[in-house]
């Protein structure tokens, strides 16, 4: 597992500080990121001490995961005297979890914007593998969490990020399938193969146009292709680079599989 504690030992006190952004971006590059959805909002059925997390997808240690429906997550009761800052995240088992912050008197005294608090500070996630989604401000003595108390951090990043998927058939007309044209300079950070039917005998390499094996040093498809494969190449490509799957059919090649590429631009 990636050493998360070395990637994000500190977390920000305010909205513009680089440590918070780096925590989320560094985890994304390490394979812990929101891919789509998962917005955190106040409880739709009426605000209380819980929040709703929308359906969506994520990467957890480079393994794709999905929440197919909105999930309600309980927040611990507020401290009677002081506020705290909790962090809602997806833990290493794929479970929505709240790391409870420590309630403390506000510093600087009189500050009303919780994103600018020096104290209390958010719960410490250093050394805890997972995908951070939101900071939740739990005010002193409150009985409800509203949207104003939820700070989404799961979608923060540098540049743009995204993912693409493409079906790779054994009988493609020119034995190559375009997977991605890089929208800007950036990194391909995750490659996955999801088997649909057996892909026998042949092989597939991944690379950019003119360099057929630059992304993967070995063929992506093994003899039977019956097992999902995942890779973390973190390979850099310039804007406009065309990433393709190059197919070498075998005598008994048949079937299809799906390739998933995830990228982040800088």
- Examine domains 4-152 and 161-265 and report if their fold is the same: no
Which of the residues in the chain have pLDDT under 50? Answer: 1-19, 156-159, 223-225
Task: Specify the 3-state DSSP secondary structure of 150.
Answer: strand
Helix (H) or strand (E) holding 71: strand 71-74
DSSP string, 135-147: EEEE-TT-S---G
Dihedrals phi, psi of 166, to nearest 5 degrees? -150, 140
Structure tokens at 188: 């391909």
Q: Find where tokens 């590429």 sit.
A: 261
CB 131 within 8 A of CB 34: yes
Domain 161-265 class in CATH? mainly beta
CB 237 within 8 A of CB 189: no
Based on the number of CB atoms within 10 Å of its own CB, is 171 exposed (0-12), middle (13-18) or buried (19 or more)?
Answer: exposed
What distance in Å separates the CA atoms of residue 229 and residue 5, rounded to the nearest whole number?
27
Structure tokens at 35: 């891919």
Task: Specify the 3-state DSSP secondary structure of 210.
Answer: coil
Structure tokens at 200: 């026998």
Residue 145: what pLDDT?
98
Residue 1: what pLDDT?
34
Angle, alpha carbons 84-49-113 (nearest 5°): 40
CB 245 within 8 A of CB 214: no
Angle, alpha carbons 227-215-237 (nearest 5°): 135
Residue 28: what pLDDT?
64
Q: Would you kindly state where each structural domain of the chain is located, as residue ranges?
A: 4-152, 161-265
CB 264 within 8 A of CB 157: yes
pTM of the predicted model as reported, rounded to 2 decimal places? 0.58
- Alpha-carbon 249 to chain mean position: 34
As its CATH architecture, domain 4-152 has Trefoil (2.80)
């Amino acid at each position: 597992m990636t050493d998360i504690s070395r990637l994000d030992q500190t977390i920000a006190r305010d909205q513009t500080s680089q440590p918070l952004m780096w925590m989320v971006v560094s985890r994304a590059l390490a394979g812990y990121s929101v891919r789509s959805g998962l917005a955190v909002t106040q409880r739709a059925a009426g605000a209380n001490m819980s929040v709703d997390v929308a359906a969506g997808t994520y990467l957890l240690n480079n393994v794709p995961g999905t929440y197919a429906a909105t999930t309600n997550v309980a927040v611990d009761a507020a401290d009677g005297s002081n506020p705290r800052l909790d962090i809602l995240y997806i833990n290493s088992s794929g479970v929505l979890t709240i790391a409870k912050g420590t309630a403390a008197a506000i510093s600087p005294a009189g500050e009303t914007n919780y994103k600018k608090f020096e104290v209390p500070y958010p719960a410490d996630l250093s050394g805890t593998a997972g995908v951070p989604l939101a900071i939740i401000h739990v005010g002193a003595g409150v009985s409800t969490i509203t949207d104003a108390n939820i700070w989404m951090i799961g979608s923060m990043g540098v540049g743009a990020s995204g993912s693409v998927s493409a079906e790779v058939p054994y009988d493609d007309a020119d034995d190559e399938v375009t997977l991605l044209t890089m929208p800007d300079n950036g990194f391909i950070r995750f490659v996955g193969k999801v088997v649909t039917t057996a892909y026998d005998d042949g092989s597939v390499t991944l690379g950019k146009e003119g360099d057929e094996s630059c992304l993967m040093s070995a063929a992506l498809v093994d003899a039977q292709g019956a097992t999902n494969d995942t890779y973390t190449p973190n390979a850099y490509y310039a804007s406009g680079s065309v990433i393709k799957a190059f197919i070498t059919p075998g005598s008994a090649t048949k079937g299809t599989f799906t390739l998933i590429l995830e990228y982040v631009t800088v």
